[in-house]
């Protein structure tokens, strides 16, 4: 299962990468498709923006549909000069400013972590293709427009490289249901240098990321 935030990206992935894709979900325009990729059943489901939205879909996919692996394919903002625009970020773990896990774990701080096998195969596929790739911790924020940027600086001082809005919830739910999950994000905007990608560049780097995601899922499911 691939999970882009934007449902129109789900449609684009289905049209460009899957064979015999059919749309199974249009509720709230949160498009979902199922088809095959190199003979293996693969689906693609929009998650919407933010952890509460993703968590609805991820819960149902894990609980009702027994989805074995979810790879989020999204964009992120770079927080350090270790990253350049268009780089691929493989999120080994995801910090968060969300209260979802604080409530779930009664105040205990849970370390939301990627599936090692998916991460390893994504890293190998990206390296084979020569895609500039960074493995690092990211921040899943609830606030696209941060009211407390100094807190982001503190996280950066502790190794966080990029910011997006969904991975922490995905990793937590995958752990709960004992499934595999990984967030792959391309850097769409650089919060240090102010650089941004154009729409064309975003589509091209998005396609490359989808290929990395599909190939790494296949490598893991065939193990
Ligand atoms: N903040 C949060 N999420 C994002 C960003 C950002 O700057 N860029 C892409 N997704």
Q: What is the pTM of this model?
A: 0.97
- The CATH number of residue 114's host domain is 3.40.50.1580
Model pLDDT, residue 223: 61
Q: How far apart are CA 103 and CA 129, in angstroms?
A: 41
Residue 96's domain comprises 2-221
Q: How far apart are CA 98 and CA 108, in angstroms?
A: 13
Q: Which protein residues are within 6 Å of ligand 1, measured from CB?
A: 75-77, 141, 144, 163-165, 188-189, 191
* 194: number of Cβ within 10 Å: 7
Model pLDDT, residue 51: 98
Model pLDDT, residue 32: 98
124 flagged as catalytic: no
Model pLDDT, residue 222: 66
111 touches 93 (CB < 8 A): yes
Q: How far apart are CA 48 and CA 89, in angstroms?
A: 20
Long-range contacts of 45-48 (CB under 8 A, 24+ apart): 45/1, 45/2, 45/3, 45/10, 46/3, 46/4, 46/5, 46/6, 46/7, 46/8, 46/9, 46/10, 47/3, 47/4, 47/5, 47/72, 47/166, 47/170, 48/5, 48/7
Please count the structural domains in the chain.
1
Q: How far apart are CA 218 and CA 222, in angstroms?
A: 6
Which of 97, 124, 153, 189 is flagged as catalytic?
Answer: 189
Each of the 223 residues of the chain gets a pLDDT tens digit; together they read 999 999 999 999 999 999 999 999 999 999 999 999 999 999 999 999 999 999 999 999 999 999 999 999 999 999 999 999 999 999 999 999 999 999 999 999 999 999 999 999 999 999 999 999 999 999 999 999 998 989 989 999 999 999 999 999 999 999 999 999 999 999 999 999 999 999 888 888 999 999 999 999 999 976 6
């Amino acid at each position: 299962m691939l999970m882009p935030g934007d449902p129109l990206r789900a449609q684009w992935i289905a049209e460009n990468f899957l064979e015999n894709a059919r749309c199974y979900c249009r509720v709230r325009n949160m498009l979902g498709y199922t088809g095959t990729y190199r003979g293996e059943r693969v689906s693609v489901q929009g998650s919407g923006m933010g952890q509460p939205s993703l968590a609805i879909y991820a819960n149902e996919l894990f609980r009702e549909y027994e989805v074995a692996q979810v790879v989020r394919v999204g964009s992120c903002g770079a927080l350090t000069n270790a990253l350049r625009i268009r780089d691929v970020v493989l999120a080994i773990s995801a910090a968060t400013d969300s209260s979802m896990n604080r409530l779930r774990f009664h105040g205990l701080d849970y370390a939301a972590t990627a599936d090692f096998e998916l991460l390893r195969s994504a890293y190998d596929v990206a390296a084979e293709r020569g895609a500039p790739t960074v493995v690092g911790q990211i921040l899943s924020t609830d606030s696209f427009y941060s009211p407390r940027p100094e807190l982001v600086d503190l996280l950066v001082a502790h190794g966080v490289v990029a910011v997006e809005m969904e991975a922490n919830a995905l990793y937590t739910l995958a752990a709960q249901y004992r499934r595999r999950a990984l967030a792959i994000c391309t850097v769409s905007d650089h919060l240090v240098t102010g650089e941004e990608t154009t729409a064309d560049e975003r589509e091209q780097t998005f396609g490359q990321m989808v290929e990395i995601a599909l190939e790494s899922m296949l490598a893991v499911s065939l193990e």
